[in-house]
Amino acid sequence: MMIDLPALLRRSTRTAFFFLSIGFIGLAAWPAYRPIFGGFMVGVVGGLLGAYHLAWKATRIGEMAASGRKPRGGFGYITRAAIGVFAALLSVEGFGFSLGATAAGIFALPLVTLLLGLFASVGIRKKQSADERGEK
């Protein structure tokens, strides 16, 4: 039972774009909540960068293991944490956004990716492909 990593990345990217579009609509509709919507959007971008880094590391470790070489290091938790801290610093110190909203944005995308992965692993037994679009 293998889940297609590029399909999960596309889904999480689409989800991030959905969150960003909701953030921009919120900025336009309620300008008084600019620190909250702005912080959430910066956090979503930071979470997306962390997700891309994790996918890159997982692919790299898998390729090294398949070729017979011993992979060095882990999955890059320190780098992903640094991306999150940088997003928080940029959001709070650079733009004056809310730290809580930024933290919620950073954690929103990995949580959605986890849920999408769980739903895909359950639904993979019922469908043929995790990335089926109906094209022939």
Residue 133 within a domain: no
44 domain residue, yes or no: yes
Phi and psi torsions of 74, nearest 5°:
-115, -140
Six-digit token pair at 107? Answer: 């954690």
Give the pLDDT band of residue 114 (cuts 50, 70, 90). confident
Local structure of residue 128 (DSSP, 8 states): S
67 within some domain:
yes
Q: Which domain holds residue 71?
A: 35-122
pLDDT tens digits, 85-101: 999 999 999 999 999 99
Exposure string over 118-129, b if 16+ CB within 10 A, otherwise e: eebeeeeeeeee
Note whether residue 2 is domain-resident. no
The reply to whether 127 falls in a domain is no
Q: Is 134 part of a structural domain of the chain?
A: no
* Predicted confidence (pLDDT) per residue in 24-60, tens digit: 999 999 999 999 999 999 999 999 999 899 889 988 8
How many structural domains are present in the chain? 1
Residue at 9 is within a domain:
no
Q: Is residue 94 part of a domain?
A: yes
